[in-house]
Amino acid sequence: MVDIKKVVVFGASGNTGLCCTEAATKQGYDVTAFVRNPYKLPQSLATQVTVKVGDILDTSAVDEAVKGQDAVIILLGTRNDLSATTVMSEGTKNILAAMDRYGVKRVSACLSAFNFRERAKVPERFLPLLDDHERMLNALKSSNQEWIAVLPPHITDQPGCGDYISEHGNSPGRMISKYDLGHFMVSCLSDDANLYQLCGICDKSQT
């Protein structure tokens, strides 16, 4: 089991990113939050972490955030924008390249549960965004890192139950609280059984 003390969260100011960053602090990690807009971090949380401001497509900013870390968490998203993009996959590639440069091995990345499905069974409106999630997954698989791909279903704003279910290679249910997902994005890093796995997750009540 790898000894993880320092973690950087990319996308730390997003809906799930905030929950993940808070979960990491509560689990005792030294946390770096990588954000584009530092004002989206609540002051109560910003005072507990190291804040790095930058763009995920700026390799120098990404390098500075990754240097000296023990693990990386990737929570890149487009909020409700379903249009075609390459930002998430290109950002992931920049992160993985920085990890190579600085010898950081372990990474968890949030993708989409649609990666479990055949494309023909995915609603057409989600396909452009799924294309970039697939590129993210391929980047992880072809990297030298100890990767964990977390594929949540619909993410809700409901309070975390703390009693969620995770499975390898399958989506066990329909919904997951952003708080429980944030917790798992951190906790999965310390369990070697998750390495090189596509991890499905859901709230226990949603199986």
Q: Going from the N-terminus, what domains does the chain have, and what CATH number goes with each? A: 55-206 (3.40.50.720)
Please compute, for residue 69, the number of CA atoms within 13 A of its CA located in the half-sphere on the CB side: 30
Active-site amino acid positions? 110, 188
Q: Which of 190, 89, 73, 205 is nearest to 136 (CA)?
A: 89
**Per-residue pLDDT, 1:** 60
Q: Enumerate residues 6+ apart whose C-beta is below 8 A from 83.
A: 128, 129
102-112 b/e with 16+ CB inside 10 Å = b?
eebbbbbbbbb
| Alpha-carbon separation of residue 64 from 18, 40, 58, 105, 156 (angstroms) | 21, 21, 10, 16, 32
pLDDT lower than 50: segments of the chain = none
